Amino acid sequence: MDIFSAEAEARFALRCEQHLREYFPEQYHQLGAEAVADSVRMALDKAHRYQLVSERDILRFLNLMYTLGFEFDRNVPWAAETLNNARFTSSSKVRLLTQRTLLAAGAVKG
């Protein structure tokens, strides 16, 4: 069973890399394929640590990493508080982080 799990994770990691190439092309090209692959592995490790379970939530977390910085989960206090809150579901965590990020960027009105 672990083999299938590892294989599925590897396929998802490739989809994450493709997602970054499409939605963050400038950063993708600046970093290069190898560093992007490393960042995806980092995101998957962090997603597991923060109990983010769906592929959608993990992709949104990856978007936040590329928007706020790779260590936003440690360097942005409100993000760390949200991610470490065991009362929130996976989707709630990512939704709250995304809303707060958009609000801070002025993309939505509070």
Nearest-CA neighbor of 98 among 57, 69, 41, 70? 57
Task: Identify whether 70 is part of a domain.
Answer: yes
- Structural domain span for residue 51: 2-104
Angle at 19 between CA 99 and CA 27, to 5 degrees: 85
Measured CA to CA, the distance from residue 93 to residue 38 in angstroms comes to: 23
Task: Identify whether 110 is part of a domain.
Answer: no
Instruction: Express each pLDDT in 12-53 by its tens digit.
Output: 999 999 999 999 999 999 999 999 999 999 999 999 999 999
Task: Identify whether 109 is part of a domain.
Answer: no
Task: Identify whether 96 is part of a domain.
Answer: yes
Task: Identify whether 18 is part of a domain.
Answer: yes
Instruction: Express each pLDDT in 71-92 by its tens digit.
Output: 999 999 999 999 999 999 999 9
Question: Which run of H or E residues covers position 63?
Answer: helix 55-68
Measured CA to CA, the distance from residue 98 to residue 11 in angstroms comes to: 25
Helix (H, G, I), strand (E, B) or coil at 93: helix
Task: Identify whether 84 is part of a domain.
Answer: yes
Please count the structural domains in the chain.
1
